[in-house]
Amino acid sequence: HNGLRASGAAAVAVFLGRDMRLAELDMSDNAIGEDGFAAVGDALRSNSTLKKLFLDRNMGGEEGIVKFCAGLADNSTLEWLSLSENAAGPNGAQALGVSLARHASLSHLWLGENGIGDEGCERFGNEVRRNQSMRFLFLNSNQIASLGMKALIGMMGNCALRGLDMYKNKLDDSDADTLVGRILRWKH
């Protein structure tokens, strides 16, 4: 809640790019927008110390998340990433999936309230199924229904996922039965 906006995010990004041994950064609620997301993503390319990054409620939008993901793909140390309430949409979800397919350290991802829907869930699931580090995925309140849930089920067989938050989506009893059945067959 510091009112950083894009220019403040760019200044923080310079600091991140210098790899100053910072392990955790919470920039939530700062309205950094598309340009701020791009700056932080670029800084992640050269950062080798940051483990946890929180960018919730920053008006990233689909384009901001896509730009952020270009840098995320080149980072190998980030373990926790929270991007909730940034209007990532289907394109942002796909960009995250593409970058995380190569990412070897991210274990926790929060994407709640991003308007991902079935289309974004399918795009994300098709890409991230190759990721072997993600353990917990939080997709609450994303308007995900049967098609999106099926994409997640397809992803589960190949990735290392152990926790999935689907609270407040558009799943019915049949979807829940299918999901529970798949979870019971998971190979831990």
Q: Residue 160 is encoded by which pair of tokens?
A: 């290392």
Which of these ranges, 69-73, 77-81, 103-107, 152-156, has the smallest mean pLDDT? 152-156
C-alpha to C-alpha distance for 14 and 18, rounded to whole angstroms: 7
In terms of Cα–Cα distance, which of 110, 114, 117, 113 is closest to 137? 110
CA distances from 162 to 47, 107, 131, 133, 165 (A): 27, 10, 13, 10, 10
Which of these ranges, 13-27, 67-81, 101-115, 153-167, has the smallest mean pLDDT? 153-167
Compute the C-alpha angle 82/85/91, nearest 5°: 85
pLDDT at position 56 over 70 = yes
Percent helix, percent strand, percent coil in the chain, to nearest 5: 45, 10, 45
157-182 pLDDT tens trace: 767 888 899 999 999 999 888 888 88
- Residue 25 buriedness (CB in 10 A; 0-12 / 13-18 / 19+): middle
Of all residues in the chain, the percent with pLDDT exceeding 70 is: 97
C-alpha to C-alpha distance for 13 and 43, rounded to whole angstroms: 5
